[in-house]
Amino acid sequence: MHGGDIYTEGKLKGQELIDFSSNINPLGVPESFKKSLDEALKNVVNYPDIKYRMVRESLSRYEGINEDLFLLGNGAAEIIDLSISTLKSILIPAPSFAEYHLSAEKWGVHIEYFHMKEKKNEDGTYSMYIDYEKLLQELDGVEGVILANPNNPDGSVLDKESVKKILQHCQKTGKKVIIDEAFIHFTLLEDQSLVKWVNEFSCLLVIKALTKYYGMPGIRFGYGITSSKEMRDEIEKKQNPWNINSFAVEAVKSVLFDDDYNKKSIEWLENTREPFVKRLMGFSVFNKVYRTLGNYVLCELNGITSKEFYDACLERGFLIRNADNYRGLSEYNIRLAIKDKDRNEKLFDMLNNL
Ligand SMILES: Cc1ncc(COP(=O)(O)O)c(C=O)c1O
């Protein structure tokens, strides 16, 4: 169901795989976090501050938002899950991250799907996009909507002016708008996040995480921001105490202010994303390559199913994301993470010899 399963076909069979399935910053764990490990280890003998005051202070300083507006989660997934649990019905894009519908199903939330549209760009890439007029109409039948900025698996970002209209409508009609910004840093667009609007729109909940950009899925830290006290209370009352461990506490305090890591990540993305997409377009095994503002690229295969392609890659030591189980995609879709130059070259070599 998810990327990053290096265990089933890899470690558990004694095999090291090159993982192109999980979309994590290839620069790995920030040095600033490694330096804080002693402190984290020292604190393991104590319960963390149950109010997580220093975590809130760091997040507040980083986002420029009052610290009371934050929800702290065991990964973005916890906040996504609990925010969806507050609804009776939800509109979910197709395709999108599987946890949206899995959470809704788990909590008995009625799901309506809306399908993203697709266009061909001048440079030969493809893009998915939302028909916002249609989305506005479809909101009629539901209590809330979840959108990702950028979306997984295609890497398209939200059109902010159109989302503003959606927010104005939802603010008036009492609907909730959940925006998943787990990959927002990778867009490299300073003004793309909707966080600045949380004070203006209490219907809005924006969710972020350390997971993807800071290369730490194992730390499990994410957060939500909303000015709705009612929404925060509703979510917090479902959370377990001490849901953030001592290592995650130190991670928040260090990595958000790691300018060196940020600089290197920007450099990597600026030098790698476009060439990666262009190189993929040169392989005849791909019928479509999607333009992305994430660190992953959605592709449609040509004459081979994603299952066959997945197996062929696995045989050669590469794990890719078979994307045929995303609602709205087909048995020909796969997703590739963008890695560092060395690993990308290995992937291209493998594709050349396929
Ligand atoms: C769009 C999106 N949001 C959230 C998550 C989960 O993030 P976390 O690991 O912080 O729970 C993922 C993980 O793949 C994702 O793709």
Per residue in 164-207, pLDDT (tens digit) is: 999 999 999 999 999 999 999 999 999 999 999 999 999 999 99
202: in domain: yes
- Does the C-beta of 152 come closer than 6 Å to ligand 1? yes
Does the CB atom of residue 178 touch ligand 1 within 6 A?
no
Question: Of 203, 232, 255, at which residue does a domain stop?
Answer: 255
Which atom of ligand 1 lies closest to the CA of 151? 1
Q: What range does the domain containing 234 cover?
A: 47-255
Q: Is the CB of 155 under 6 A from ligand 1?
A: no
CA–centroid distance, residue 104 to ligand 1 (Å): 16
Q: Which of 236, 255, 274 is the last residue of a domain?
A: 255
Q: What is the CATH number of the domain that holds 146?
A: 3.40.640.10
Same domain, 193 and 134: yes
Where are the extended beta strands (E) located within the chain?
18-19, 70-73, 89-94, 110-115, 117-120, 126-129, 144-148, 176-180, 204-209, 222-225, 286-289, 296-301, 318-319, 321-322, 333-337
180 within ligand 1 shell (Cβ under 6 A):
yes
User: Taken in order 279, 282, 287, 288, is the CA torsion positive or negative?
Assistant: positive
CA of 352 to the centre of ligand 1 (A): 31
Our answer on whether the CB atom of 82 is closer than 6 Å to any ligand 1 atom is no
Ligand 1 in contact with 74 (CB < 6 A)? Answer: no
Q: Is residue 196 located within the same domain as residue 325?
A: no
The burial class, CB within 10 Å (0-12 / 13-18 / 19+), for 183 is buried
Q: Is the CB of 211 under 6 A from ligand 1?
A: yes
Q: Does residue 132 sit within a domain?
A: yes
Q: Identify which of 205, 208, 211, 325 to mutate to test ligand 1's pocket (most ligand atoms within 8 A of the CB).
A: 211
217 ligand 1 Cβ < 6 A: yes
The ligand 1 atom at the shortest distance from the C-alpha of residue 23 is 14
- Domain check: are 58 and 195 in the same one? yes
**Ligand 1 pocket, residue 289 CB under 6 Å:** no
Q: Is residue 137, in this structure, part of any structural domain at all? A: yes
CB 33 within 8 A of CB 271: no
Q: Can you tell me which residue has the tokens 């609804």?
A: 87
Ligand 1 atom nearest to CA at 77: 11
Please state, in angstroms and rounded to a whole number, the distance separating the CA atoms of residues 282 and 181.
31
Task: Using alpha carbons, select from 297, 298, 280, 296 the residue that is nearest to residue 354.
Answer: 280
Read off the CATH number of the domain in which 290 is found. 3.90.1150.10
Query: Which atom of ligand 1 is found nearest the CA of 148?
Result: 1
Contact assessment for residue 244 and residue 52, using Cβ atoms and an 8 Å cutoff: yes
Q: What is the CA radius of gyration of the chain?
A: 20
Let me know if residue 36 belongs to a domain.
no
Cα of 296 from ligand 1 centre, angstroms: 13
Confidence (pLDDT) at 7: 63
- Structure token pair of residue 192: 């793309």
- Distances in Å between the Cα of 252 and the Cα atoms of 30, 36, 217, 255, 335 are 11, 10, 13, 6, 29
Tell whether 58 and 134 lie within a shared domain: yes
Alpha-carbon torsion 28, 50, 104, 291, what sign?
Answer: negative
Spell out, as residue ranges, where the chain has pLDDT lower than 50: none
Q: In terms of domains, do 127 and 272 share one?
A: no
Q: What are phi and psi of 176, to 5 degrees?
A: -105, 145
Domain match, 304 and 244 both: no
Number of domains in the chain: 2
Asked whether residue 4 is domain-assigned, the answer is no
The verdict on the CB of residue 227 being under 6 Å from ligand 1 is no
Give the pLDDT confidence score for residue 15 in this predicted structure: 72
**What pLDDT score was predicted for residue 314?**
93
4 lines ligand 1 (CB under 6 A): no
In a domain, 267, yes or no: yes
Closest listed residue to residue 273, CA positions, set 208, 210, 195, 183: 183
Query: With 0-12 CB in 10 A as exposed, 13-18 as middle and 19+ as buried, what is 122?
Result: exposed
216 in contact with ligand 1, CB cutoff 6 A: no
φ, ψ of residue 82 in degrees (nearest 5): -75, -30
Tell me, yes or no, whether 190 lies in a domain.
yes
Reduced 3-state DSSP string for 73-92: ECCHHHHHHHHHHCCCEEEE
Centre of ligand 1 to C-alpha 159, Å, is 21
Strand partners, 73: 222
Angle at 277 between CA 222 and CA 5, to 5 degrees: 45
Pair (240, 319) in one structural domain: no
Residue that terminates a domain, selected from 231, 255, 279: 255
